[in-house]
Amino acid sequence: MFRYLILLLPLLLAAKVHYAKVEPYDSVVLKASVSGQVLEVDLDAEGNWVEKARVVHIDDRLDRQNLEATQQSIALLDQMLKINEEIAFSLAETVKRQESYYKRISQLATASKTQKDNAYSAFASAKTQYLGTKEKIASLKKQLLDATYKEAMLADTIEKKSVVLTKRYLYSLLVRAGDFVAPGTPLARVDDIERAKLVLFLEPEELAGIEAKSVYINDKQTDLKVNKVWRVTDEKYISSYRAEIYMPAPKAHFSELVKVELK
């Protein structure tokens, strides 16, 4: 009798019944990256598949004004840079001519000291103007870099103030118009319903040979497999191991409770 029970024990273990809910493949809570007041939310999109739409809009009006002003500044700085580069090119030619004249006249015994001093002053003045313009060009380039960086930062902030969903299921909106949000504030929960999954909590003895086991759902064999198994026990079910089975999305609704067996 005992021998019969020992032989039957693996079969009993293999036939352990689990019940699992058909869940979306993934669920993500989108959080604010920036602070601001919520201007509008698309409540009509809640609980629906969203092809492409903005569902949360945080106030970005000042950011847009700042961005427009920054873009105008960039255009002006670029214009000033080009003008000063032309001036520097002309001054470089002037410096060459003044230097050449100074060197030539300084070697002439017939030239007076005043003439030589005037030639040197003209050469030094031209070189100073040239160097001053080069310094201004360097300053304009620095300002241009700063303004370009500011433009990118503002564009990034504006983008983050709009939650735009593309081919996603909007499960719920977690803010309303008029709310003030800070970085990290939950805005919306978005589900991936293009696939589904079943979550099981398995006993240690069920893990043996799990890769080869067939998945039975509601007493019917399927071609599904256990796709992922945690190798550390679950925080809630401390003696069990979490496992996930991935499957096509249901044609009707999620959250159906199904019977699952691994044999």
Domain spans of the chain?
A: 15-59+163-262, 61-159
3 state DSSP class of 230:
coil
pLDDT for residue 234? 87
pLDDT for residue 107? 86
pLDDT for residue 15? 55
Cβ proximity of 158 and 60 under 8 Å:
yes
Determine whether 217 is exposed, middle or buried from the number of CB atoms within 10 Å of its CB (0-12, 13-18, 19+): middle
What is the C-alpha separation between 61 and 57, in angstroms, rounded?
A: 11
Q: What is the DSSP letter of 206?
A: G
CATH code of the region 15-59+163-262: 2.40.50.100
pLDDT for residue 105? 87
Q: What is the pLDDT along the chain (263 residues), one digit of tens a residue?
A: 444 444 444 444 445 899 999 999 999 999 999 999 999 999 999 999 999 999 999 999 999 999 999 999 999 999 999 999 999 999 999 999 998 988 888 888 888 888 888 888 998 999 999 999 999 999 999 999 999 999 999 999 999 999 999 989 999 999 999 999 999 999 999 999 999 999 999 999 999 889 899 999 999 999 999 999 999 998 888 899 999 999 999 987 888 999 999 98
What is the C-alpha separation between 255 and 69, in angstroms, rounded?
A: 51
CA distance to 15, 217, 219, 259, 260, per residue, from 244 (Å)? 18, 14, 18, 14, 12
What is the C-alpha separation between 164 and 37, in angstroms, rounded?
A: 17
